[in-house]
């Protein structure tokens, strides 16, 4: 892991002065930092992935939406059972995934 990239991501996170950094920037930051400290940043990554799956960029691309949600489910599932945010982000990711699968089934 490139420590300069980790340091830059942490600085960007601190300078954003937000509870959760969203969008492409948030995905980049949290994907990187989750590799270093999964219990600290994993729930935020899962949250941002779920948000990204509903963005206008992928709204009409069900395969990409499912890929983002699969990543969110994997990240949330990997969190320790004692993590206070695990159940909430996992439930949100699974619900969003079921919604997309339900729409695909209805469209057939």
pLDDT in tens, 66-88: 999 999 999 999 999 999 999 99
Tokens of 89: 């982000």
The average confidence (pLDDT) of the chain is: 92
Tokens of 35: 């590799």
Residue 29's φ and ψ, nearest 5 degrees, are -65, -50
Distance CA 40, CA 50 (A): 18
Lowest-confidence pick of 53-57, 82-86, 98-102: 98-102
| CATH number, span 3-107 | 1.25.40
**Crossing angle (nearest 10°) for helices 86-107 and 62-78:** 160
Q: Is 75 within 8 Å of 34 (Cβ atoms)?
A: yes
What's residue 105's pLDDT?
A: 72
- Residue found by looking up tokens 């420590």 in the block: 3
**pTM listed for this prediction:** 0.90
Query: Domain-by-domain residue ranges, the chain?
Result: 3-107
């Amino acid at each position: 892991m490139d420590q300069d990239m980790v340091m830059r991501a942490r600085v960007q996170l601190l300078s954003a002065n937000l509870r959760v950094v969203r969008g492409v920037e948030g995905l980049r930051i949290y994907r990187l930092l989750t590799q270093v400290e999964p219990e600290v940043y994993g729930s935020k990554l899962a949250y941002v992935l779920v948000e990204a799956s509903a963005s206008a960029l992928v709204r009409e691309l069900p395969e990409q939406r499912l890929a983002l949600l699969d990543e969110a489910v994997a990240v949330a599932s990997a969190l320790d059972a004692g993590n206070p945010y695990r159940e909430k982000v996992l439930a949100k990711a699974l619900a969003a995934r079921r919604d997309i699968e339900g729409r695909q089934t209805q469209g057939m």
